[in-house]
Amino acid sequence: MCGPGRPRLPRGPPPARPTAGYKLTRRAVSAASPPVVRAGGFPCPSEKPPLPLSMAEDLILERCDLELEANGRDHHTADLCQDRLVVRRGQPFWLKLHFEGRSYEAGVDTLTFSAVTGPAPSEEAGTKARFPLSDAVEEGAWTASVVDQQDGVLSLQLSTPATAPIGLYRLSLEASTGYQGSSFVLGHFTLLFNTWCPADAVYLDSEEERREYVLTQQGFIYQGSAKFIKSVPWNYGQFEDGILDTCLMLLDINPKFLKDSGRDCSRRSSPVYVGRVVSGMVNCNDDQGVLQGRWDNNYGDGVSPMFWIGSVDILRRWRDYGCQQVKYGQCWVFAAVACTVLRCLGIPTRVVTNYNSAHDQNSNLLIEYFRNEFGELQGDKSEMIWNFHCWVESWMTRPDLQPGYEGWQALDPTPQEKSEGTYCCGPVPVRAIKEGDLSTKYDAPFVFAEVNADVVDWIQQEDGSMHKSINHSLVVGLKISTKSVGRDEREDITHNYKYPEGSQEERDAFTRANHLNKLAEKEETGVAMRIRVAESMSMGSDFDVFAHITNDTAEDRACRLVLCARTVSYNGVLGPECGTKDLLGLALEPYSEKSIPLRILYEKYRDSLTQSNLIKVQGLLIEPAANSYVLAQRDIYLENPEIKIRVLGEPKQNRKLVAEVSMRNPLTVPLTGCSFTVEGAGLLREQKTVEIPDPVEPEEVVKVGGQVISNHDLHSSFCWYRWESGAQHLS
């Protein structure tokens, strides 16, 4: 049993509202009803001797108090228990039965409870439980026992198994005296996974981690590039109004439920199963899922993925429009919504970002690029290296796998490849990825490739032959990041996925994965190149990038350098050129270094920069005499102007706050059609947008103010603002 199991004294007079909004219903129970086991209680000091069964009056239940406040506090569900009972499995919860006429008598009355979930509850499937009032509390079973009795009020403790299916339950009571009795619906309650319970498959032994990965409603998602990591705040809002109902609705319209509801509800006892369902339902590629993905920068009939700042608005739109797909999402949006749903259901979950993430379609652990003699890509490319890619990790045991594979499991809701006929991915143990165990369920080869695939660039020469280039600048699987526990800082978790580069453990993992490309020796020519940039580059500025070339040999080298800068989406799709340079006669002296600049102008990238704010700079160094090609690449992230938030006055819980938001226009042109958007868990019931009526001139600071009410301590509540402009995009 988990959580507090202590007897409780009465907490004063019961509230006037019965049954948390549920009206008691009653039906007669005849002698033909199934026999029930008599249960003992304990007598009150003033209790009279029991009447003979033939003389006892019927036991009539007036109402049931589901103890919302106490249960919400004990089960860490206070935000969900405003008008309903939400509890976590494997942990006792409390209720009070108020009888009219006479009190419950242990030797006379028999109380039997029933808890059912799903449209076709079954004891065999674990979706129906019938259990008597008992003195003994049996571990791992549905039980009910007496805590206290005073006059006509019976205080009870109900316990649920730590393996019970999660979902909405109906709780009923059968009260019988002799061969007559009545049945009452006590109310409904929602059962969630319980990371505080050692017997639960999602148990975490760190209280700090439990609070971060289940209870925290805000966080950061990491974007940008491996060289310039950008933190983006996100409002998960898993305890906001209506989100729990929306998450349960998502489970109830998944294809497996529609095919066999009884089996689906039964399997909801497993976080492995629930995680896989959520992975498939967050995208809408083959069901009535939440989000439609789009990556072509044409978002006119929906919302740009860059404009979302939280999951709440997305899930509410999906629910309010009859489970119609919400337009549009990209990887971090899919991952963030999945994180909201899984945390809401009680599964510890975090969003992770992998930089230089490979999309390997044929599971050969190899991404090949074919380029012309100037380094330009030839033809369409479906296998790409994404600048970054986000998925989620959820904490759970894996009884279906060998020991040692419990813990963090990778789940990827972004629709990329099908898994067992459905666009979903995982859960797969992160440990299995690190060990190169690609036979592990689910989808280990795909996730392994995301962090370990090799990249080969082929250069087509004038005679049509292909020559392999050297590219040491692009390494797959860098700076794998997630938010730190209890702090607004980044934690690097690359070591969870990969052994140190060059270590024997890494080679062993590659051998197990049959990753022959990584095991091969790398070709060296003595000439190397890398792209260098200024420490920080901001939107609207002109700046220089440099091809830094070293010749570590004793020979003169006669080379050609082709430098090119192009806008790029975060998933690797290239846009127009915004800077080029072609040096035909570049002489490299022995043991020398050279730095060749390339100027990139705002007027060149202004109209083609995508909402990813990324520019890819590529250098191709050609040495005709040696038939040698050296390729170097770097993705540059352009910083948006800072949005400053200032709280005016002293913040106190449940008091109105005035917040001022400001931003400076860094561009050389006015901004028109601008707005700020704000949302925050525990601060605002819904997203709010403030329009800016006048143009914002260059270097002008625009300010807006507004009121919010903090329902929590201020340190645990955050506001997030998005800035939009019609003429220019800054988000």
Q: Is residue 45 part of a domain?
A: no
Residues 625 and 567 in one domain: yes
State both tokens at 643. 């949005």
| Residue 201 resides in a domain | no
| H/E element, 230 | strand 229-235
In a domain, 23, yes or no: no
Residue 393 pairs with which residues in a beta bridge?
350, 410
Which of 34-48, 350-364, 692-706 is predicted least confidently?
Answer: 34-48
**Beta strand pairing call for 180-192 and 167-177:** antiparallel
Q: What is the reported pLDDT for 182?
A: 87
pLDDT at 579 over 50: yes
Instruction: Please tell me the distance from the alpha carbon of residue 238 to that of residue 315, in angstroms, as a whole number.
Output: 10
Domain assignment present for 145: yes
DSSP calls for 346-397: T--EEEEEEEEEE--SSSSSEEEEEE-TTS-B-S--SS-EEEEEEEEEEEE-
Residues 668 and 607 in one domain: no
Look up residue 255 and give its two tokens. 């294809």
What's the pLDDT band for 717 if we cut at 50, 70, 90? very low
Chosen domain end from 637, 654, 687: 637
Residue-level pLDDT at 377: 79
- Together in a domain, 512 and 530: no
Residue, of 348 and 641, whose pLDDT is higher: 348
Residue 486: pLDDT above 50?
A: yes
Q: Clarify whether residues 469 and 579 are in a common domain.
A: no
pLDDT at position 8, please?
39
Q: How far apart are CA 708 and CA 647, in angstroms?
A: 10
Regarding whether 585 and 502 lie in a shared domain, the answer is no
User: Is 663 contained in some domain?
Assistant: yes
* Dihedrals phi, psi of 376, to nearest 5 degrees: -80, 140
| 454 annotated to bind ligand | yes
H or E element in which residue 231 lies: strand 229-235
Q: Which residue has the higher pLDDT, 588 or 23?
A: 588
**Residue 113's pLDDT band (boundaries 50, 70, 90)?**
very high
Taking a C-beta distance cutoff of 8 angstroms, is the pair 551, 526 a contact? Answer: yes
Q: Is 501 annotated as ligand-binding?
A: yes
Q: Are residues 445 and 566 in the same domain?
A: no
Query: What is the H or E stretch that residue 72 is in?
Result: helix 68-74
Could you give the 3-state DSSP secondary structure of residue 716?
A: helix
Catalytic residue among 359, 389, 515, 729: 389
Parallel, antiparallel, or unpaired: how do β-strands 291-293 and 407-411 relate? unpaired
Residue 339 annotated in active site? no
pLDDT above 90 (res 181) = no
Across 12-21, 362-371, 533-542, least confident range:
12-21
Share of the chain above pLDDT 90, in %: 58
Q: How far apart are CA 691 and CA 251, in angstroms?
A: 37
* Per-residue tokens: 13: 């007079």
Please tell me the predicted confidence (pLDDT) of residue 518.
62
Q: How are beta strands 527-533 and 543-551 bridged, if at all?
A: antiparallel
Q: Is the pLDDT of residue 1 over 50?
A: yes
Distance between first and last Cα of the chain = 48
Q: Do 158 and 127 share a domain, yes or no?
A: yes
CA distance 572 to 561: 23
Per-residue confidence (pLDDT) for residue 376, from 0 to 100: 79
pLDDT at 19: 40
Catalytic entry in 264, 287, 412, 437: 412
Buried b (16+ CB within 10 A) or exposed e, 42-68: eeeeeeeeeeeeeebeebebebbbbbb
Range of the domain at 627: 524-637
Residue 401's CB is within 10 A of a number of other CB atoms, namely 18
The pLDDT of residue 429 is 98
Dihedral angle computed from the Cα positions of residues 274, 431, 455 and 231, in that order, rounded to the nearest 10 degrees: 70
Does one domain contain both 492 and 539? no
State which of 517, 532, 549 marks the end of a domain.
517
Distance CA 422, CA 415 (A): 9
User: Is 730 part of any domain?
Assistant: no
Q: Binding residue per annotation — 492? A: no
Q: Which of 265, 331, 339, 719 is catalytic?
A: 331
pLDDT band at 458 (very low <50, low <70, confident <90, very high): confident
Which pLDDT band, with edges at 50, 70 and 90, does 719 fall under?
very low
Same structural domain, 513 and 528 = no
> Is residue 75 annotated as part of the catalytic site, yes or no?
no
| Confidence at residue 110, expressed as pLDDT on a 0 to 100 scale | 92
Q: Which long-range contacts (CB under 8 A, 24 or more apart) does 415-424 make?
A: 415/283, 415/285, 415/293, 415/334, 416/359, 416/446, 417/361, 417/446, 419/443, 419/446, 422/255, 422/280, 422/286, 422/287, 423/280, 423/283, 423/285, 423/286, 424/276, 424/279, 424/280, 424/283
**Is 257 found in the same domain as 176?**
no
Model confidence over 527-570: pLDDT tens digits?
Answer: 999 999 877 688 888 999 999 999 999 999 999 999 999 999 98
Q: Which residue has the higher pLDDT, 459 or 256?
A: 256
With 50 as the cut, is the pLDDT of residue 9 above it?
Answer: no
Q: What is the mean pLDDT of the chain?
A: 85
Query: Which pLDDT does position 180 carry in this prediction?
Result: 78
Q: What DSSP state is assigned to residue 119? A: S
Cis peptide before 165 (omega within 30 of 0): no
Pull the structure tokens for residue 544. Answer: 């220089």
Q: How confident is the model at residue 42 (pLDDT cuts 50, 70, 90)?
A: very low
254 is in an annotated binding site: no
Q: Count Cβ atoms within 10 A of the Cβ of residue 666 and give its class: 0-12 exposed, 13-18 middle, 19 or more buried.
A: middle
DSSP output for 562-584: EEEEEEE-TTS-EEEEEEEEEEE
Distance CA 159, CA 165 (A): 14
Same domain, 425 and 464: yes
Q: Tens digit of pLDDT for each residue in 66-90?
A: 999 999 999 999 999 989 999 999 9
pLDDT of res. 382: 66
What confidence score (pLDDT) does residue 94 get?
Answer: 97
**Which carries the bigger pLDDT value, residue 5 or residue 157?**
157
Q: How far apart are CA 369 and CA 723, in angstroms?
A: 37
Whole-number pLDDT of residue 539: 84
**Residue 716 confidence (pLDDT):** 31
pLDDT at position 259 over 90: yes
Give helix 312-320 / helix 243-252 axis angle, nearest 10°. Answer: 60
Contact residues for 327 (Cβ-Cβ < 8 A; gap 6+): 291, 292, 294, 299, 301, 302, 303
- In the sheet that holds 366-371, the strands lie side by side as 366-371, 454-460, 466-468
Helix axis angle, 243-252 relative to 271-281, nearest 10°? 90
Q: Residue 56: its pLDDT value, please?
A: 60
Give the max Cα distance, the chain: 113
Active site residue 389: yes
Report the pLDDT value the prediction gives residue 688, as an integer from 0 to 100. 78
Tally of domains within the chain: 4
**Residue 219's pLDDT is what?**
96
Distance CA 665, CA 699 (A): 5
**Beta-sheet strands, E only, within 539-655:** 543-551, 557-568, 574-588, 592-600, 614-623, 628-637, 644-648
637, 666, 683: which is the final residue of a domain?
637
Q: What are the DSSP E strand ranges found in 671-712? A: 674-679, 688-692, 701-709
Asked if residue 661 has pLDDT above 70, the reply is yes
pLDDT at 625: 86
Q: Whose CA is closest to 332, among 212, 233, 425?
A: 233
Instruction: Give the mean model confidence (pLDDT) for residues 150-164.
Output: 95
Q: Residue 644's beta-bridge partner residues?
A: 662
DSSP secondary structure letters along 438-483: TTSTTTHHHHHHHHH-EEEEEEE-TTS-EEEPB--S--SSEEEEEE
| Per-residue CA distances from 164 to 145, 265, 318, 545, 655 (Å) | 19, 10, 28, 59, 40
209 C-beta neighbours (distance < 10 Å), count: 16
CATH number of the domain bearing residue 170: 2.60.40.10
Q: What's the CATH code of the domain at 329? A: 3.90.260.10
In a domain, 6, yes or no: no
Given a cut of 50, whether residue 729 has pLDDT beyond it is no
The 3-class SS string of 502-518 reads CCHHHHHHHHHCCCHHH
d(CA 654, CA 186): 33
Give the per-residue pLDDT at 368: 79
Examine the pLDDT at 441 and tell me if it is beyond 50: yes
**Do both 547 and 561 map to the same domain?**
yes
Is residue 21 domain-resident?
no
User: What is the mean pLDDT of the segment spanning 504-531?
Assistant: 80
